[in-house]
């Protein structure tokens, strides 16, 4: 088990934040039975989940995309009976070739003086019991083993440690448009030998002619991020005043909305995507972004996401290219989101605070990316 991401971190729930109450919780089998048989709880159960890939019982959202059915005035009405997935927030338990715990950095309570997250994580794991954890681990390991076999049979294999070492060595390239252009071009055009050394991968990236227009790519990806038909699928951002904010492409503009508990919205801003540039970063901002990307590089769920992409693309690209391309894409996405928030606030330079706000806007979505393995 790996709890290294939690080491030294503390957490305190921020009153009336309720960001976690916008995440529709699934109900475990024993929870579903209790909810369906209990007056006052049964009315909140639904088979309709905001994510079409998720099956089974869950708790309703108000107005189909608002807050949890049981939330009132940003307070939980069933706090003592809240489901497992509510109790485990802001931690995620990912099972791959090992069990790893991640902290959801979109939660504004992380870093505040309070409970130690490592102790919280150990207590959370103890609730599962050893038999459940062993069973989940065996199943997930089989999935990862099959993925590795598929990579080897299609000659696109790289060890997980090799791509992580390469990702760490390329940390500077992830912080500027030239480096990102090289990485994205490498991901799409390179021919990387199977089981290449980290040094060979890094050398190949740095020798790649940068052909990708990162500013244009960021603009397109950023606009597409908010061009979704259902409000429940849009990224959510909780600002420093604890207002829930959504952004949606309306015509040719990105409209910002404040989300209410009942699912209604109130528009507060409009901006053309073309007005959002990748703003320059000062040294503190670069350090904050580098630190966050190192954390992502160590997350097993992100490795599983790259494996998912490799599989969905039919193993057409070497795994190092898929992995580093995904890392570069996420760096660009976070940079663009930070720039969007800063531009709306009238700023033209990103400091550490602006990158931290971007992380708050970004991390929940990163942890929600499709992946092989499983969150439990």
Q: What is the pLDDT of residues 303-357, one digit of tens each?
A: 999 999 999 999 999 999 999 999 999 999 999 999 999 999 999 999 999 999 9
CB atoms under 10 Å from CB of 304, counted, come to 25
- 56 DSSP assignment: S
Beta bridge partners of 222: none
pLDDT computed for residue 65 by the predictor: 84
Q: At what angle do helices 130-153 and 117-128 cross, to 10 degrees?
A: 100
Locus of tokens 């693309």:
313
Cis peptide bond upstream of 90, omega within 30: yes
Query: pLDDT for 263-289, tens place per residue?
Result: 999 999 999 999 999 999 999 999 999
Residue 48 confidence class, pLDDT cut points 50, 70, 90: confident
Dihedral of the alpha carbons of 18, 19, 22, 23, in degrees to the nearest 10:
-120
CATH class of the region 139-216+276-375: mainly alpha
pLDDT at 49 > cutoff 90: no
Cα Rg for the chain, rounded, in angstroms? 21
| pLDDT tens by residue, 130-168 | 999 999 999 999 999 999 999 999 999 999 999 999 999
The pLDDT assigned to 63 comes to 86
Residue linked to tokens 């090992």: 98
Count of alpha carbons within 13 angstroms of residue 312, beta-carbon side: 10
pLDDT by residue (tens digit) across 79-99?
Answer: 999 999 999 999 999 999 999
Residue 291's nearest CA partner among 239, 336, 352, 236 is 352
Return the domain boundaries, the chain: 139-216+276-375
206-252 confidence digits (pLDDT tens): 999 999 999 999 999 999 999 988 888 899 999 999 999 999 999 99
Contact assessment for residue 92 and residue 101, using Cβ atoms and an 8 Å cutoff:
yes
Beta-carbon count within 10 A of 364 CB: 23
Q: Could you count the other beta carbons within 10 Å of the beta carbon of residue 204?
A: 19
Closest CA to 194 of 144, 145, 154, 158: 158
Residue 207 · residue 244 · CB < 8 Å: no
């Amino acid at each position: 088990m790996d709890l290294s991401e939690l080491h030294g971190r503390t957490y305190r729930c921020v009153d009336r934040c309720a960001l976690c109450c916008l995440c529709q919780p699934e109900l475990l089998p024993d929870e579903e039975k209790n909810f369906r048989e209990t007056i006052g709880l049964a009315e909140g159960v639904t088979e309709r989940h905001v994510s079409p890939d998720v099956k089974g019982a869950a708790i309703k959202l108000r107005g189909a995309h608002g807050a949890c059915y049981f939330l009132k005035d940003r307070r939980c009405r069933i706090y003592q009976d809240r489901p497992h997935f509510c109790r485990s927030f802001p931690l995620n338990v990912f099972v791959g070739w090992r069990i790893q715990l991640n902290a959801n950095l979109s939660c504004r309570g992380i870093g505040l003086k309070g409970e130690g997250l490592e102790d919280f994580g150990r207590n959370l794991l103890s609730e599962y019991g050893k038999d459940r954890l062993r069973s989940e681990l065996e199943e997930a390991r089989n999935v990862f083993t099959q993925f590795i076999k598929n990579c080897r049979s299609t000659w696109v294999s790289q060890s997980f440690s090799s791509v992580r070492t390469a990702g760490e060595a390329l940390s500077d390239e992830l912080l500027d448009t030239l480096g990102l252009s090289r990485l994205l071009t490498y991901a799409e055009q390179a021919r990387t030998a199977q089981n290449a050394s980290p040094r060979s991968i890094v050398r190949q990236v740095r020798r790649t002619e940068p052909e990708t227009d990162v500013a244009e790519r960021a603009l397109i990806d950023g606009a597409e991020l908010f061009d979704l038909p259902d409000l429940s699928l849009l990224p959510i951002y909780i600002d420093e005043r604890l207002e829930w904010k959504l952004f949606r492409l309306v015509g040719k503009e990105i409209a910002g909305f404040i989300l209410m508990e009942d699912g209604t919205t109130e528009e507060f801003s409009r901006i053309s995507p073309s007005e959002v540039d990748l703003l320059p970063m000062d040294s503190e901002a670069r350090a904050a972004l580098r630190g966050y990307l190192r954390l992502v590089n160590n997350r097993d769920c992100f490795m599983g996401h790259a494996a998912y992409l490799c599989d969905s693309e039919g193993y057409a690209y070497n795994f190092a290219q898929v992995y580093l391309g995904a890392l570069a894409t996420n760096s660009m996405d976070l940079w663009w989101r930070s720039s969007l928030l800063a531009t709306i606030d009238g700023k033209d330079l990103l400091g550490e605070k602006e990158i931290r706000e971007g992380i708050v806007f970004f991390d929940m979505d990163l942890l929600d990316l499709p992946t092989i393995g499983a969150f439990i």
